[in-house]
Amino acid sequence: MEALKGVRILDMTHVQAGPTCSQLLAWMGADVIKFENPQGDATRGQLRDVPNADSLYFTMLNCNKRSITVNMKSPEGKSVFVDLLKKCDIIMENFGPGVLDRFGFPWEKIHELNPRIVMGSIKGFGSTGPYADFKAYENVAQAMGGAMSTTGMPDGPPFVTGAQIGDSGTGLHLAIGLLAALHQRDRTGQGQYVEVAMMDGVMNLCRVKFRDHQRLTHGDLSEYSVPTYKGMGEVPRAGNDSGGGQLGNAIHCKPHGANDWLYVVVQEAVWAGLAKRIGPEIGMPDLASDPHFAHIGERRKNQQLMWTLINKFAEKYTKREFMAILNPLDVPCGPIMSTEDLANDEHVRGREMYVELDHPQRGKWWNVGMPIKLSASPARIERSPLLGEHTDEVLREVLGYDAARIGALRQAGAFSAPPKTRG
């Protein structure tokens, strides 16, 4: 937790995209002050599994942060915001378009108040262009960034991926931008505005699909298992094809349940060994010298048959048994791991990628760990804060407010939602 020691972040982010980023920065040692609407980040109450406890949606994305509630719609709340702004290195937000402007704090104003501060902003589509005014959630970004049109089977509907590439993926992009801007700030003394649009982040993650898009102007995509042709225009959905130069597919294994599959990459270098091992068991002892599969070109052409043969071999084995057969042959492969498999996996536990935590409202729970391992700055994962848990602490320690001042601000409604008016 040493890497970002001394870096203080005013974190106005909510839901998933922004909090992913600030949680990672907290795990690298930044002091992240989650600056919340007095009603709290909406995810505190979303998909609740334990009554009256912060949801896992919230707890899993907000570890190692301090929470302060401030009503930005009151003049007193705004004055607290300005004071904090002057004490922070980074401010970050992922509100819908125009929210900060409506508070009276566009980037220009923030930069004027603290020229050293770096500002990170996530928007669905950025602040310019015809889509700039639209809100976005994960699957909207996946739809508009090219992920959905290229995911699924060609004769079926487009699919979203389980990996949250629109939200968490954008948070990762923002973290990179913020760290670069901080580095520049340390040299120049000047902060800057860092913007990541979710649609842009998804496009970046779909880069190889745009490789294929352009290849289609010169010919077909020979490695695809589905038909393609020169001038096709759109990159088709290609099921479980590998997406790279090597052929790959998911192979169904015993006992043929939902996740009894092994993903196998038939790398050029391993074909001979693989064919020698599986051929005899499927009644094709000469598979390794069969001209239908002699080189990658032939295997691309005849890949449906090749997958049928490998599936036939796999019928007798579980995914782990099949993996144990392929590992010594150096065939790149991996079992399709369910969440249950991963939650109990020795390798995962050993790498601290699924860690147990305690929470005052919900008791024991698990979070996915820190995927970036810094040798001189190991992460120490601590539970997420309760709503407003650190309001007084932050006002005292960071801003130097005394009890009388805090009391007066509280009385004026700086930290609470305005009472509902009858109407």
If the CB atoms of residues 43 and 225 are measured against ligand COA, the closer one turns out to be 43
If the CB atoms of residues 16 and 303 are measured against ligand COA, the closer one turns out to be 16
Which two tokens mark 23? 């949680």
Minimum separation from the CB atom of position 211 to ligand COA (A): 27
Q: 247 and 296 in contact (C-beta within 8 Å)?
A: yes
CA angle 187, 106, 384 (to 5 degrees): 75
Q: Hey, what amino acid is at 142?
A: Q
If the CB atoms of residues 94 and 228 are measured against ligand COA, the closer one turns out to be 94
Tell me whether residue 110 is exposed, middle or buried, using C-beta atoms within 10 angstroms of its C-beta: 0 to 12, 13 to 18, 19 or more: buried
Task: For 133-163, give the DSSP string.
Answer: T----HHHHHHHTTTGGGSS-TTS-----SS
CA angle 116, 120, 126 (to 5 degrees): 135
- Alpha-carbon torsion angle 135, 138, 140, 145, nearest 10: 110
Binding site for ligand COA (CB under 6 A): 15-17, 37, 70-73, 94-96, 99, 102, 122-124, 135-137, 167, 198
If the CB atoms of residues 124 and 177 are measured against ligand COA, the closer one turns out to be 124
Please list the alpha-helical segments (H only) found in 288-378. Answer: 296-301, 303-314, 319-326, 339-343, 346-350
Task: For 197-228, give the DSSP string.
Answer: EHHHHHHHHTHHHHHHHHHTTTS--TT-SS--
Cα 342 to Cα 202, 276, 353, 368, 397: the distances in Å are 25, 32, 9, 10, 41
Minimum separation from the CB atom of position 15 to ligand COA (A): 3
Which residue in this structure is represented by tokens 């090219």? 146
If the CB atoms of residues 72 and 147 are measured against ligand COA, the closer one turns out to be 72
Which two tokens mark 35? 């600056």
If the CB atoms of residues 12 and 28 are measured against ligand COA, the closer one turns out to be 12
If the CB atoms of residues 98 and 371 are measured against ligand COA, the closer one turns out to be 98
**Is 167 noted as a catalytic residue in this protein?**
yes
Residue nearest to ligand COA (CB): 96
Question: How crowded is residue 393: how many other Cβ atoms within 10 Å of its Cβ?
Answer: 12
Q: Which of 31, 54, 89, 167 is catalytic?
A: 167
Minimum separation from the CB atom of position 167 to ligand COA (A): 4
What CA–CA distance (Å, rounded) separates 147 from 185?
34
Element (H, E) at 101: helix 99-103
Sign of CA dihedral 207, 252, 228, 234: negative
Q: Which of the residues are catalytic?
A: 167
